[in-house]
């Protein structure tokens, strides 16, 4: 794949970085950076017919902003304070240890204006020991309130299903779609959530299954993180219309994909980082420190998956041992990444899905996956450029997932399910670009992703009393 310039180049000031670290310390102690305590005049927001289950990585948060703003626009509610039902599936054992968790909360606060426990609920598992053998100080408290964290979104979902307002003008209540986006591994949380809805509000659950438009991001990390009960409920809820199976690899044309689609760093509009920084300097600083820790962990030399699928020769191992100490530079991973990228023999053996991260650190940009934002691109294209996609509408075919590889797909006359795949009993569509090299639509997509994030951030700032912001 050709090298493509990264665009997520943030240059946070020392003042912004200092403020961000101060805020992170407060969150780690359980201070939630409230949008406003009771009695300040901030009323509970109305609910949009939109449910999002996420793990709050950078691409997730941007996708939430885009889908949220898109839903408001489609319903003629731009500028409204209505919000989605949002659930954050945290994973303290594998991804959210050290200070990753609080960085996600801070980014969500600054980009989306969301307060934990009030605007979204957090679900986590009981096993909360990170790979470095530490336990996050908030993990136990969040586990202890799991029942309440399930009850709140279950009740919100029941209210959404039961009501007929907040719908396009002239549309009958029973025809109004309720959108469900699943953009993170279920880890049993999805199954528990929808079990709570079905048990406590059986009539609402039945109506949910008749109304839901289900879109699931099916990268292998997400699908292999789905428990059987998660998938069972997803299939039940998607029984009235085909589930939309979104895979970045498939959507952008598989092997024919344009190199610009490699990651959020390469696909971002050249002006996105600058405009985000101008709109919210603390967000730019928060994304910077998040990428430094979270993405940096992916390419550290001790990660067994750095060279997944490849083996270094003895000579390459010797050269790599000389590179390893550079990863401990207190100034960051840039020198390590630069040296790793310059050694062509070693770099070509870095796992393909980690090469963009190495390049980003070497070039000083913030690598992030593009994955979940593709869910929004699908919706935007379906409404504005349906001719740019194939397999985006119709009855679809039987949905399957390979439990070993995590790959998913749709059975057609010409494409049967792989031998090891599990057919799930639901119908699905797996859309893709008609012409993966269509520069006009690709450039339009880049612009649209930027505009909807910034539009949503501007909307949040207008709705929020300045005195209640965390700075």
**Residue 122 located in a structural domain:** yes
Q: Are 285 and 12 in contact (CB under 8 A)?
A: yes
| 334 and 388 both lie in a single domain | no
Mean pLDDT (whole number) for 317-343: 93
| 306 and 179 both lie in a single domain | no
95-99, 124-128, 198-202, 429-433: which has the minimum mean pLDDT?
124-128
pLDDT value at residue 34: 54
Whether 434 has a pLDDT exceeding 70, the answer reads yes
Residues 6+ apart with CB under 8 A from 316: 345, 346, 349
Q: pTM for the complete prediction?
A: 0.92
Range of the domain at 184: 47-259+371-468
Whether 174 has a pLDDT exceeding 50, the answer reads no
Mind listing the pLDDT tens digit for each residue in 3-23? 578 999 999 999 999 999 999
| 378 and 438 both lie in a single domain | yes
Long-range contacts of residues 73-80, Cβ cutoff 8 Å, at least 24 apart: 74/168, 74/383, 75/48, 75/166, 75/167, 75/168, 76/168, 76/169, 77/48, 77/166, 78/459, 79/459, 79/462, 79/463, 80/46
Mean pLDDT (whole number) for 182-189: 98
**Residue 228 located in a structural domain:** yes
4-8, 400-404, 412-416: which has the minimum mean pLDDT?
4-8
Mean pLDDT (whole number) for 102-121: 96
| 253 and 104 both lie in a single domain | yes
Whether 168 has a pLDDT exceeding 70, the answer reads no
What is the band of 169 on the pLDDT scale with cuts at 50, 70, 90? very low
pLDDT value at residue 367: 87
Whether 456 has a pLDDT exceeding 70, the answer reads yes
Mean pLDDT (whole number) for 216-223: 97
pLDDT value at residue 17: 96
Residues 6+ apart with CB under 8 A from 413: none
Last residue of a domain, one of 363, 389, 423: 363
Q: Are 6 and 359 in contact (CB under 8 A)?
A: yes
List the CATH number of the domain containing 153.
3.90.245
pLDDT value at residue 43: 54
CB atoms within 10 A of CB 164: 12
| 325 and 214 both lie in a single domain | no
| 156 and 240 both lie in a single domain | yes
């Amino acid at each position: 794949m050709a090298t493509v310039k990264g665009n997520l180049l943030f240059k946070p000031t020392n003042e912004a970085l200092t403020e961000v670290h101060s805020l992170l310390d407060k969150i780690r102690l359980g201070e939630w950076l409230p949008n406003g305590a009771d009695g300040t005049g901030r009323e509970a927001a109305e609910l949009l017919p939109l449910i999002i289950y996420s793990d709050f990585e950078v691409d997730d948060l941007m996708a939430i902003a885009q889908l949220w703003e898109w839903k408001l626009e489609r319903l003629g509610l731009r500028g409204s304070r209505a919000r989605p039902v949002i659930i954050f599936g945290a994973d303290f054992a594998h991804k959210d240890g050290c200070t990753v968790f609080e960085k996600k909360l801070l980014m969500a606060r600054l980009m989306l204006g969301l307060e934990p426990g009030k605007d979204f609920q957090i679900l986590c598992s009981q096993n909360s020991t990170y790979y470095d053998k530490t336990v996050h100080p908030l993990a136990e408290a969040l586990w202890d309130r799991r029942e309440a964290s399930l009850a709140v979104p279950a009740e919100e979902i029941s209210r959404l299903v039961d009501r007929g307002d907040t719908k396009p003008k002239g549309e009958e209540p029973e025809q109004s779609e309720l959108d469900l986006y699943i953009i993170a591994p279920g880890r049993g949380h999805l199954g528990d959530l929808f079990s709570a809805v079905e048990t406590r509000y059986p009539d609402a659950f039945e109506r949910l299954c008749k109304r839901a438009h289900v879109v699931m991001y099916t990268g292998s990390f997400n699908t292999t993180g789905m428990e059987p009960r998660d998938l069972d409920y997803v299939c039940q809820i998607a029984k009235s219309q085909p589930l939309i199976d979104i895979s970045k690899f498939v959507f952008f044309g598989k092997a024919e994909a344009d190199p610009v689609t490699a990651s959020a760093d390469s696909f971002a509009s050249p002006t996105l980082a600058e405009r985000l920084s101008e709109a919210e300097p603390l967000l730019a600083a928060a994304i910077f420190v998040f990428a430094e820790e979270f993405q940096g962990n992916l390419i550290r030399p001790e990660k067994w998956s750095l060279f997944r699928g490849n083996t270094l020769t003895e000579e390459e191992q010797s050269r790599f041992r000389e590179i390893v100490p550079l990863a401990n530079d207190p100034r960051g991973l840039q020198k390590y990444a630069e040296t790793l990228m310059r050694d062509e023999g070693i770099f070509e053996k870095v796992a393909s899905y980690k090469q963009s991260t190495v390049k980003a650190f070497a070039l000083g940009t913030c690598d992030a996956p593009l994955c979940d934002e593709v869910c929004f691109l699908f919706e935007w294209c379906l409404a504005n450029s349906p001719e740019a996609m194939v397999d985006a509408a119709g009855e679809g075919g039987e949905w399957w997932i390979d439990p070993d590889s995590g790959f998913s797909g749709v059975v057609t006359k010409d494409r049967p399910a792989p031998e090891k795949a599990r057919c799930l009993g639901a119908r699905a569509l797996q859309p893709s670009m008609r012409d993966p090299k269509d520069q006009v639509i690709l450039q339009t997509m880049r612009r649209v992703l930027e505009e909807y994030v910034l539009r949503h951030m501007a909307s949040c700032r207008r709705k929020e009393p300045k005195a209640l912001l965390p700075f």
